[in-house]
Every structure is written in C-alpha cells, then in structure tokens.
Structure 1
Amino acid sequence: MDKIIVPVDFSSASSWGFYYAYNIAKEIGAELVVVHLYWPPYVETTYPANMIQSIITKKEDELLKHLKAATQAPLGETGTVKIRYVIEPGSEQSIVDVAAQNKADLIVMGTHGSGKALDKVWGSNTANVIHNATCPVLAIPAGSTYEGIESIAYATDFDPEDTELLYQLTLIAVAIKGQVHCVHINLADGPFEDKKEAAFRASFEKNFSDLPVTYSVWSANEVEEGLDTFCRINKISILAMLTHKKNIWEKVFGAKSMTKNMSMQTKLPLLAFHK
C-alpha cells in the first residue's frame, strides 16, 4: 500500500479521519494525500480571465494555509509522513476522481451521521464515496483513536468470490502487521452449510496458506448481534465487508434495527471493499 487519500473539510469528523490515516501512513510508509474540496467563489462573468484566475488562486492559497494548520503531525513528530495537498472545487464524487487519478490504494474518511439508514451511521458523503470508489474505503467514526490495527474481521457468507477479497485484505493486514479473522454469522434458527465453509477454506489455503487468517462461525439470533459480540470478544480493530453484499449490509445497517446497531457501528471503523 503506497498511497492513502484522506478528505479534510475542517470538521471534527474529518480531523478524526486525518489522524487515523496519518498513523496508518506512518506505520506502513505510505504517502498521504490530503484532499480539500470547495465551492468556487462567485465572480462576475464580465471579469477578465486573468482576474478570475487570480481570485481562485488567492482562495486556494488561503485554503492551503488553513489546511496545513489543520493537518499538522501529532505533537513531537516531524517529517515522519510524506503529505501532499490537493485543493480543488468539487463534491464527494471528486474524492472518488482524485483517488482514481492518484491511483490510491485506500481512502480514509472521518464520518458523521445525517438522515437515511446508512447515512445515519456514516454520513451521506461517506456513504456515497463507499458506493462509488474503486479502491477500499475506511470509514472512521468520531472518537476512534488509533491504537494500531491488530485484528481485522471480515464478515463473509463463504462465497467462492470472497477468496479474492480475502487475499487483498490479508495483504493490507500484512502491511500493518495485523491479522484477519474471517467470520460467518449463522442464524440460530437457520441451517449451516459446513461443506461450503470447508470448500472456502480449502480454496483459500491452497493458494495463500502463508497469510495470517483465522476462520470462525458464530451462532446468533441476528447478524448484527453476532458481529457485535464477535468484534467485542476478539478486540477487533476494523470490520471489513464487500459493498455488494446486500444481505449483510441490510441486516447490519437496515432501518428496522438501526437503534440497536448504533452502539457497534458508531465505534468500529468499517473497511468497505468492492467486488
């Protein structure tokens, strides 16, 4: 992992995201690209082009000054992380574009809630980036302090397609000296396909036997209850899921169970992968 994108909009939520991203970049030696998006200043259309450009340049210079002040290294640290700044007009889609243009390996975003189900947990901007980015997105809830990433839980149905994602996830874990816990939540009133689990493990271990992965099957009345218990007992640092796994996402983030779910999702960083 060589390049990490972190959007900063001067909110407290983005500050949490920055310091989490900073520590990951420091630990693995990655470049940190700090992105700030802004609304273009209003200018009269009759202004000459050089005057318009001068106004925009002045605004971006002021923003860069504030951005550098807001993204200083933790007290006592100097020159430990290479930071580059990108300031341009745009919206959350621009974050996705900047990540693609810079061939980013990861986007880290601080989160804050708003209206709809997924938005209530992560905020509408983060939810949009999660669904549109082509690289993994790590959503950091407010108050999440970085204490190293020793354990990553991956929620799986043991589908064959998950082996490629698990491989990508373990490469991240190796880079940060962590371990991946592959967990399946089996509903108490439902059957468990042990042959499916065995085939999944055999397929992965055949190709990637040297990677740090453990496998667990937990029984629970609800998926979110099982994940919550598993993450607490195993002191999980990050929960990872595929964005197109609608059955898992709806069970964990669905509106019907939103109240009881808030305790887990607002405390645990979420790493969202695309297929």
Structure 2
Amino acid sequence: MKKIIVPVDFSEQSEYALEAAVKIARKDSETEILALHMLEMSNAVINTTNSEQITKAVFFLRLAETKFSEFLDKPIFKGAKITPIVKHFKVFSEVNDVAKEHGADLIIMGSQGTSGFSEIFVGSNTEKVVRYSDVPVLVLKDRFSKDIFNDVVYASDFSLESVDVYKRMRYMFEDLHTKLHLIYVNMPSDRFRSSNEMEQTVSDFLMQAEGNLDKLKDINFISDYSVEKGVLNFANKIGADLIAVATHGRTGIAHFFEGSISEDIANHSVLPVMTFKR
C-alpha cells in the first residue's frame, strides 16, 4: 500500500482515522498518508475577483494551515509520512478526485458517534465518500486499539459478478498480511440453498477467481436468519477485527450482494467496516 487518504475536519473522529492510517503505514516505510482538509467554499468565494472575498478565502486557508499544524503535533503522528493537503472543494464527494489524482489505495474516515450508521452515517460526509469512491473506504466508529488487522470477515454471495471485487479485496488484505475469513450465509428464505447448491456456487466462483478449488475447504458456510446476523455472529465468534463488504457505488452502503440488504451490518457492528465498490 503506497498512499492512504484521510479526510480531516480536525474532529476527534478524524484523529481516530489518521491514527489508524499511521498504524497501517508502519507496515511499509514507503507508505504516504495524505491528510486532506476541504474548505467547502462556494464557487462565489473560490472564483471571485472581489478583494473582500479574496481576503476571506486567504483567511480560511491560513486558519486551516494553523489547525493542521496543531492537529498533527501529537506523539502518535511523529515520524509518520504525513502530507497535509488543503483543497477548495465544496463537497466530500470530491474526495474520489483526490484519490484518483494521487493514485491512492485506501481512504480512511471516522464516523461520529456509536449509535449506528442509521442515525449518523446515512446522509453524512462519510456516506458521500463511500458512494463516490472508486477505492476502498475504511470507516471507523471509534479509536482502533490494535496495531494491525489480524482477522477480517468478508461475506459474499459468490456470484460471478463478485469476482472482480473479491480479487481487489483479497489483494489488499494479502498486502496487509491479514487472515481473511470468507463466509457464505444460508438463510431460511427464498434464497435458501442446499449444501450441494452452495458448494457448486462457490466452486464455480473459485474457478473463475482463483483458477482452482484450493480455497474451497476454507469457505465458512453459515446458517442464520439473515446475512447481517450471520456476518455479525461469525465475526464475534472468531474475534474479528474488521468486516469487509461490497457496495454498489452511488446506491449506498445499503446495497450488498444482489439487490438490497438492510444496513444492519453497519448499524450493529462495533467493528470497523471497509467497503469495496462492486
């Protein structure tokens, strides 16, 4: 991993995100962290020739630079390769433009509160980044106490349409030297599959994704009343550090796999969640 972007608004949550980025970057001394602050100025201020508006813009730019200096002056950030960036962007959806410009591998964001994404995630700046980002986004609700992600749970429907996101997800976690736990959740509904059907679906997927069936023995087939309960129960059982999910881009985090599955994974997970656009 070469570059990580952390949107910073100088809040406690963005401090958590930057701390997590520093911990991940310690795995590779060449990893650069881009701490991005957006002034969110209007076009009227950005493009004006009015001297008063120009003075206003310069004031906010210098204020941001001062805040950055104070924000980064913490022991945990010492020695880390952090580059502060201030942009005149208006909305957080433009973080994806910065990611493309710099060839970023990951975006890390803090999410306010601990009551669940249903109240504080949907409609927030974090959701906007997730919806527009072409690179994975790691969302934290709290300070990540560990130095690394040891165990990651990734649930899939193992459809052939999921092969590409699986490859990108697997590559990232291999780079982080993380143990990946793949699970298929079987439910008592119209999506119920027999053991043979599940194994055939996963076999077809692995042949497309891996070219062999070596990982078939490592797939965890879980039975539960919903995908969300299956994922969360399994993550709790193995003591996972992170849950990874696929999203359908601008339709938001509510849309996993085929169709729409509720936001319960994000709402009820106390673990960090990493999203990959499908």
TM-score normalised by the chain length of structure 2 = 0.81
1:191 aligned residue (190, 193, 205): 193
Q: Give the counterpart of 1:273 among 247, 271, 276.
A: 276
Q: Are 1:263 and 2:263 matched, yes or no?
A: no
Tell me the amino acid that sits aligned with residue 247 of structure 2: T
Query: 2:271 is aligned with what amino acid?
Result: L
Distance verdict in 2 for CA 1:208–1:105, change over 3 Å: farther
Distance 2:143 2:123 in 1: 15
Task: Give, in angstroms, the shift of residue 166 of structure 1.
Answer: 2.0
Could you tell me which residue of structure 2 aligns to residue 57 of structure 1? 58
Task: Decide whether the 8 Å contact of 2:153 with 2:181 is kept in 1.
Answer: yes
After superposition, the C-alpha distances for 1:63-98 in whole angstroms (9 at most, x for unaligned) are: 1121132134544x632x211111122221222222
Map 1:37-186 → 2, pairs under 5 A: 37-40=38-41, 47-48=50-51, 52-53=53-54, 55-75=56-76, 78-79=78-79, 81-89=80-88, 90-112=90-112, 118=118, 120-121=120-121, 124-186=124-186
Preserved contact between residue 266 and residue 273 of structure 2 (Cα < 8 Å): no
CA-to-aligned-CA distance 1:109-163 (integer Å, 9 cap, x gap): 1012699975644662111111111111111112433431112211100112323
Cα distance in 1 for residues equivalent to 2:28 and 2:112? 27
My pick for the range that moved more, 243-252 or 13-22, is 243-252
Match of 2:244 among 226, 240, 244: 240
**How big is the shift at 1:261?**
6.8
The answer to whether the 8 Å contact 2:247/2:256 transfers is: no
> 1:251 aligns to what SS in structure 2?
coil
Do 2:245 and 2:256's aligned partners in 1 also have CA atoms closer than 8 Å? Answer: no
Whether 1:217 aligns to 2:252 is no
Distance 1:120 1:53, change over 3 A: closer
Q: Secondary structure at the match of 1:4?
A: strand
Which stretch shows the higher mean deviation, 129-138 or 197-206? 197-206
Q: Relative to 1, partners in 2 of residues 1:100 and 1:121: Cα closer, same or farther, differing over 3 Å?
A: same
Contact between 1:96 and 1:133, CA under 8 Å: does it hold in 2?
Answer: yes
Tell me, what secondary structure is at the counterpart of 1:85? strand
Which one-letter code corresponds to 2:193 in the other structure? P
Tell me: CA distance 1:162–1:112, structure 2 relative to 1, closer, same or farther (3 Å). same
Contact conserved, 1:113 with 1:119, CA < 8 A, in 2?
A: no
Q: Percent identity between the aligned chains? A: 24
For 1:269 and 1:261, how far apart are their aligned partners in 2?
Answer: 9
Residue type of the alignment partner of 1:37:
M
How far apart, in 1, do the equivalents of 2:26 and 2:74 lie? 10
Amino acid at match of 1:38: L
The count of residues paired between Structure 1 and Structure 2 equals 261
Q: Answer whether contact 1:18 1:108 (CA < 8 A) is retained.
A: yes
Aligned to 1:221, the other structure's residue is in SS state coil
Larger deviation: 243-252 or 98-107?
243-252
Tell me, what secondary structure is at the counterpart of 1:9? Answer: coil
Secondary structure class of the residue paired with 1:246: coil
